[in-house]
Amino acid sequence: MQGPGRPSSAEVVLPRADGADLRGRTPEWKWQLAHAVRSSRELAEHLDLCDAERAGAERAERDGFPLAITPYYLSLIDRGDPSCPIRRQVVPHVAEREVTRGDLVDPLGEVAHEVAPDLVQRYPDRALVLATDRCAVYCRFCTRSRMVGGAGGTRTLEHLTPAFDWLAAHPEVRDVIVSGGDPLTLTTDRLVAVIARLRRVESVETIRLATRVPVVLPQRITAELLGALAPYHPLWVMTHFNHPKELTPLARQGLERLANAGFPVMNQSVLLRGVNDDAAVLAELFRGLVRCRARPYYLLQADPAKGTGHLRTPIATGVALMEQLWGRLSGIALPKLVVDTPGGFGKVPIGPDYVIARRPGVTRFRTPRGIEVEYFDPAPE
């Protein structure tokens, strides 16, 4: 196929550092964002939608949580398979209109924990900056659907000034997570301006970029971006791969580039019904991430965001999955299963219980292979 300005396959076109080619074409990632599917009509051109998806997409377009899928991520969807795990993450479903017991508009109580505009603090030593409300794709399970894709757009430095001032006045905060929305949808200049401003707060030691872009728009991981961010290390990248199908050659290359540029990469997966609630799928995902030098960090129980009941699993499912994986998967490939407690009171780890009895000075365990053993405490001093 020879679209406008597209090179023929015989031509060798070297990318520039910013991801544009030598003729100065728009960088591929910007092309992807500009051509994201955002309407039910376009979506129906690409996929055979079932009635529930069509109604979901029309609702998303009208008044629900918006619809956006990059051409790249769309290309990973199995066109004829309504249960495709990529599809379930991004194609709206009419069930989003349903209310499930416990559903909350703001499941993590972020509005209540806002200490300055778009600065959320839920732990004494950490804070979260919401640098934009835009994402490359809108994930149907998003915890922040109340504000993501809304009217605010990217936050200006002026808008974030009270957040920076608050951080400067609270030196106990050493770890700042830049999130959104997706911070990697910002232009490099915009993003660097935010990071540079954060770096001027001396008490901030670690900065984490929380992003789904390596999954849904890996073309964004350009040499230009990495070069611009490198002066601000230590910068950690928190990615969000949920299924092994997402680890395409392009995505693996993005992870490789991040690791080569000195970014520790941690992955946070969300446990989703019909997407990754299967031990073999999770094992393949976690092993694949480790091969790309990305550490599976958390497996998150899905937050009870309004309209996500159809995508969530019972707590017992996650615990059973961890039971299947523990002891069978390398420790570096095994994330912690956590529940971010509704209301915003912090994350708690859950999992199978290997302690079967506690008596004073003696703890009885069962091992992953079902052997029972005792551990004796040392004698009190």
Ligand X SMILES: *Cc1c(COP(=O)(O)O)cnc(C)c1O
Q: Which residues bind ligand SF4 (CB under 6 A)?
A: 135, 138-139, 142, 144, 148, 180-182, 212
Residue labelled with tokens 């949920």? 242
128 binds, among ligand X, ligand SF4, none (CB under 5 to 8 A by kind): ligand X
- Strands (DSSP E) along 143-233, which ranges? 175-179, 206-210
Residue labelled with tokens 């196929």? 1
126 binds, among ligand SF4, ligand X, none (CB under 5 to 8 A by kind): ligand X
Can 48 be counted among the known catalytic residues?
no
Can 135 be counted among the known catalytic residues?
yes
Can 295 be counted among the known catalytic residues?
no
The CA distance from 36 to 71, in Å, is: 6
The dihedral sign for the CA sequence 173, 174, 175, 176: positive
The catalytic residue among 72, 135, 155, 212 is 135
The catalytic residue among 139, 252, 297, 298 is 139
Q: Which stretch binds ligand X (CB under 6 A): 32-40, 117-125, 198-206, 308-316?
A: 117-125
The catalytic residue among 72, 84, 303, 312 is 303
275 binds, among ligand SF4, ligand X, none (CB under 5 to 8 A by kind): none
Can 353 be counted among the known catalytic residues?
no
Residues 266-295 that bind ligand X (CB under 6 A): none
347 binds, among ligand SF4, ligand X, none (CB under 5 to 8 A by kind): ligand X
Query: Which member of 88, 122, 140, 243 binds ligand X (CB under 6 A)?
Result: 122
The CA distance from 149 to 133, in Å, is: 6
The CA distance from 254 to 209, in Å, is: 15
Can 257 be counted among the known catalytic residues?
no
Can 87 be counted among the known catalytic residues?
no
366 is a site residue for ligand X (CB under 6 A):
no
Strand partners, 298: 268, 336
144 binds, among ligand X, ligand SF4, none (CB under 5 to 8 A by kind): ligand SF4
Residue 355: count other Cβ atoms within 10 Å of its Cβ: 10
Closest contact distance (angstroms) between CB of 119 and ligand SF4 is 16
Question: By C-beta, is 151 or 373 nearer to ligand SF4?
Answer: 151
Closest contact distance (angstroms) between CB of 216 and ligand SF4 is 7
310 binds, among ligand SF4, ligand X, none (CB under 5 to 8 A by kind): none
Q: Which stretch binds ligand X (CB under 6 A): 21-29, 83-91, 116-124, 284-292?
A: 116-124
The DSSP-derived string for 207-248 is EEEE-SHHHH-GGG--HHHHHHHGGG-SEEEEE---SGGG--
Closest contact distance (angstroms) between CB of 209 and ligand SF4 is 12
Question: By C-beta, is 47 or 69 nearer to ligand SF4?
Answer: 69
Q: Are 89 and 139 in contact (CB under 8 A)?
A: yes
Question: By C-beta, is 142 or 194 nearer to ligand SF4?
Answer: 142
Residues that bind ligand X (CB under 6 A): 108, 120, 122-123, 126, 128, 177, 347
Catalytic positions, written as ranges? 122-123, 126, 135, 139, 142, 144, 303, 340, 347
